[in-house]
């Protein structure tokens, strides 16, 4: 018992228990509290989200906001307040893995200098308005497995009493294409007489489904007493997302790619939606022209895959999408008099075709900034008509009959 009691004393000397039951380590230093900054910076956007309506020829996106300098001390002397609009491209497969110049490419699109001479600001909030028209040819904000394109506002306030006060505000840029008319495509599959007519929309969205109308002609080839025909067994469709990026090298690593202006090209592909259809089509072997098979099915992007919208950046990043349709058809023989009793021949074919689709954000009810301005009327003069201020004579009085008519009541 004494041995057990002695051991418990030694154990109690090694560990210290807090009232909550937790063990505190020995010689733990107090945490360092960073010094409080004399001011902080905030950015309040006043314009709608930055959306390019249309393709690269878009008129751009206009954004505006307020830069707020919130001084917490009694006063704050500042030497300069500057803000840059930057476009940052990050390559996820660079030429040199540990080289920051090969990974990041920073481009300054616009710079603001809010003060031109040293100024002292009192306690409170001080606002600085800003605005800029983003060119429509710029790529939208993109995050894919090969590279990312991001935009942001970087603010820097220089003061002689402390370190510079910095703030970063991310800016999301989107692109929305107006839905064009449906596209009709015809595919021919020699050596057979099969032709496929497909009607679909060329622009799709990350959320929501779209209809694909499918019609196959030439499924029957009649002889004198027999006929050979094709019957659909299964239809598979999928949407593939392709991405390609060129990773450039910085001047220090030009020797790895063979010189200036060259880089390594990387490509990836992933499936973002698919389905198999085994029934639901309408078959008519008696239609004039070799019979036909009709089918209409919905297609969509699988939820949760976070698709990347189509983009083509001058930095080398390209993302595009394809709708791929595969039809499995089986051949069979039947008599012209008894078409219900068909005999499979054992021959089958896989008909494969693809269509380019563009994935874009929904435009919603928004319109481009240049369409929000009030209309201009060419037929209306610039000022209202003048008054007869210089006429000194007596104005002509209307006839008595007109005066009597003005006072009459029904």
SS3 per residue for 145-185: CCEEEEEEEEEEEECCCCCCEEEEEEECEEEECCCCCCEEE
Read off the pLDDT band of 377 (50, 70, 90). Answer: low
Is the CB of residue 61 less than 8 Å from the CB of residue 50? yes
Mean pLDDT score of the chain? 84
Read off the pLDDT band of 337 (50, 70, 90). Answer: confident
Total residue length of the chain: 410
Rounded mean pLDDT of 368-383?
Answer: 61
pLDDT at res. 282: 92
Top mean pLDDT of 235-244, 257-266, 381-390 is at 235-244
Q: Which residue has the higher pLDDT, 206 or 395?
A: 206
**Nearest residue to 141 via CA among 66, 245, 52, 203:** 52
**Nearest residue to 318 via CA among 385, 386, 269:** 269
Question: How many C-beta neighbours within 10 Å does residue 180 have?
Answer: 10
pLDDT at res. 338: 60
Rounded mean pLDDT of 68-94?
Answer: 93
Read off the pLDDT band of 5 (50, 70, 90). Answer: very low
Read off the pLDDT band of 9 (50, 70, 90). Answer: very low
Rounded mean pLDDT of 138-162?
Answer: 94
pLDDT at res. 263: 84
Tell me the C-alpha to C-alpha distance, in Å, between residue 159 and each of 77, 80, 120, 153, 166. Answer: 6, 8, 10, 20, 11
**Nearest residue to 156 via CA among 164, 148, 147:** 164
pLDDT at res. 369: 67
Read off the pLDDT band of 20 (50, 70, 90). Answer: very low
In three-state secondary structure terms, 3 is helix
Share of the chain above pLDDT 70, in %: 80
Ramachandran sector of residue 48 (left: φ over 0; alpha: ψ -120 to 50; beta: rest)? beta
Checking if the pLDDT of 344 tops 50, the result is yes
DSSP code per residue over 93-143: S-SSTT-HHHHEEEEEEEEEES-SS-EEEEEEEEEEEEEEEE-TTSPPPEE
In three-state secondary structure terms, 363 is coil
Read off the pLDDT band of 409 (50, 70, 90). Answer: very low
pLDDT at res. 251: 84
Sign of CA dihedral 338, 340, 343, 347: positive
pLDDT at res. 387: 59
For 183-219, the pLDDT digits (tens) are: 999 999 988 889 999 999 999 999 999 999 999 999 8
């Amino acid at each position: 018992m004494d041995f057990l009691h002695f051991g418990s004393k030694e154990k109690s000397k090694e560990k210290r228990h807090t009232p909550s039951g937790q063990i505190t380590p020995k010689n733990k230093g107090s945490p360092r509290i960073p010094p409080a900054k004399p001011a902080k910076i905030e950015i309040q956007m006043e314009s709608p989200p930055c959306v390019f309506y249309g393709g690269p020829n878009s008129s751009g996106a206009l954004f505006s906001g307020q830069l707020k300098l919130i001084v917490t001390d009694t006063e704050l002397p500042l030497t300069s307040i500057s803000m840059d609009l930057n476009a940052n491209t990050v390559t996820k497969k660079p030429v040199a893995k540990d080289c920051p110049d090969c990974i990041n490419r920073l481009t300054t699109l616009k710079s603001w200098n809010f003060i031109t001479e040293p100024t002292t600001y009192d306690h409170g909030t001080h606002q600085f308005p800003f605005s800029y028209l983003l060119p429509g040819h710029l790529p939208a904000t993109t995050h894919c497995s090969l590279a990312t394109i991001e935009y942001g506002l970087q603010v820097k306030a220089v003061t002689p009493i402390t370190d510079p006060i910095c703030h970063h505000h991310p800016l999301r840029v989107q692109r929305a294409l107006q839905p064009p008319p449906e596209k009709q495509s015809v595919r021919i599959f020699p050596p057979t007489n099969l032709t496929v007519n497909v009607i679909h929309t060329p622009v799709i969205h990350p959320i929501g489904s779209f209809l694909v109308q499918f019609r196959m002609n030439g499924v029957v080839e009649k002889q004198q007493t027999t006929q050979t025909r094709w019957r659909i067994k299964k239809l598979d469709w999928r949407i593939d997302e392709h991405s390609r990026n060129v990773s450039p090298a910085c001047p220090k690593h030009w020797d790895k790619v063979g010189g200036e202006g060259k880089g390594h090209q990387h490509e990836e592909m992933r499936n973002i939606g698919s389905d198999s259809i085994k029934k639901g089509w309408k078959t008519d072997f008696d239609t004039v022209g070799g019979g036909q098979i009709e089918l209409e099915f919905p297609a969509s992007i699988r939820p949760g895959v976070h698709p990347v919208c189509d983009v083509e950046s001058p930095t080398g990043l390209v993302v595009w999408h394809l709708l791929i349709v595969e039809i499995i058809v089986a051949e069979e023989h039947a008599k012209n008099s008894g078409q219900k009793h068909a005999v499979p021949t054992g021959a089958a074919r896989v008909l494969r075709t693809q269509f380019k689709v563009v994935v874009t954000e929904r435009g919603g009810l928004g319109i481009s900034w240049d369409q929000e301005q009030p209309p201009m009327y060419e037929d209306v003069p610039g000022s209202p008509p003048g008054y007869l201020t210089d006429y000194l004579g007596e104005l002509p009085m209307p006839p008595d009959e007109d005066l009597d008519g003005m006072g009459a009541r029904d």
